């Protein structure tokens, strides 16, 4: 990973430093969940409120970006959140950076199912 503001964000998230987290986002920030539009939000103040709630609910959360690529002003990254009791989220976040601040994020994150979990709405997969 080479984008300085994304590196700063990950450090701030893992330190649970809300001021540092908020400082990574521009005043015009837009957070989008294309598969869950009711979760969309605006502004760094809402980013702070969201992470404050997450840190209270999951005080042991850790965040990593395991792979990334930069294309123009976008950083496409594979993210991995680990919470208490082994709960995990994995997915892709597409971050738009302009003038050194995050201006937009599109979240494609989902909880990780146990290896033997049934596929919602579908058949269970055959395994050896």
119 is a domain residue: no
121 is a domain residue: no
Number of domains in the chain: 1
At 46, which CATH number?
3.10.450.50
List pLDDT tens digits, range 9-50. Answer: 999 999 999 999 999 999 999 999 999 999 999 999 999 999
- Domain around 31: 4-111
127 is a domain residue: no
Distance CA 83, CA 14 (A): 12
Distance CA 47, CA 121 (A): 32
29 is a domain residue: yes
pLDDT above 80 (res 128) = no
| pTM for this entry | 0.85
103 is a domain residue: yes
pLDDT of residue 31: 98
16 is a domain residue: yes
DSSP result, 25-90? EEEEEEEE-TT-GGG-EESHHHHHHHHHHHHHH-TT-EEEEEEEEEETTEEEEEEEEE-GGG-EEE
């Amino acid at each position: 990973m080479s984008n300085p503001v994304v590196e700063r964000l990950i450090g701030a998230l893992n330190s649970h430093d809300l001021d540092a987290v908020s400082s990574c986002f521009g005043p015009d920030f837009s957070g989008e969940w294309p598969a869950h539009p009711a979760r969309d939000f605006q502004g760094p103040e809402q980013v702070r409120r969201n992470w404050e709630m997450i840190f209270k609910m999951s005080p042991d959360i850790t965040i990593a970006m395991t792979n990334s690529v930069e294309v123009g002003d976008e950083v496409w990254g594979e993210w991995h959140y680990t919470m208490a009791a082994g709960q995990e989220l994995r997915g892709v976040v597409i971050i738009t950076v302009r003038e050194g601040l995050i201006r937009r994020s599109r979240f494609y994150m989902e909880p990780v199912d146990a290896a033997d979990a049934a596929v919602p709405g579908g058949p269970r997969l055959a395994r050896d």
